[in-house]
Amino acid sequence: MNIDLPDIAAMDAFGRRIAAQLRAGDVVALEGGLGTGKTTVARAILAALGHSSEVPSPTFQIIQTYDELDPRVVHADFYRLKQPSEAEEIGLDDYREGAVLLAEWPDHAGGFAHEAGCLTIRLEVVGEGRSAAVTRGADWLGRLND
Give contact residues for ligand ADP (rule: CB under 6 A): 5, 7-8, 10-11, 32, 34-40, 104, 128-130
Is the separation of the CB atoms in 45 and 102 below 8 Å? yes
Indicate the residue among 7 and 94 with the shorter CB distance to ligand ADP: 7
Indicate the residue among 15 and 117 with the shorter CB distance to ligand ADP: 15
Residue 38 interacting with Mg ion (CB under 5 A): yes
The pairing of beta strand 129-136 with beta strand 118-126: antiparallel
Q: Which of 144, 136, 146 is nearest to 27 (CA)?
A: 136
Indicate the residue among 30 and 119 with the shorter CB distance to Mg ion: 30
Q: Which of 38, 20, 65, 34 is nearest to 120 (CA)?
A: 38
Is the separation of the CB atoms in 119 and 140 below 8 Å? yes
In the region spanning residues 102 to 141, those forming contacts with Mg ion, defined by CB under 5 A, are 104
Residue 32 C-beta: closest distance to ligand ADP, Å = 6
Q: Which of 67, 49, 66 is nearest to 58 (CA)?
A: 66
Indicate the residue among 25 and 122 with the shorter CB distance to ligand ADP: 122
Question: Which residues contact Mg ion (rule: CB under 5 A)?
Answer: 38-39, 57, 104
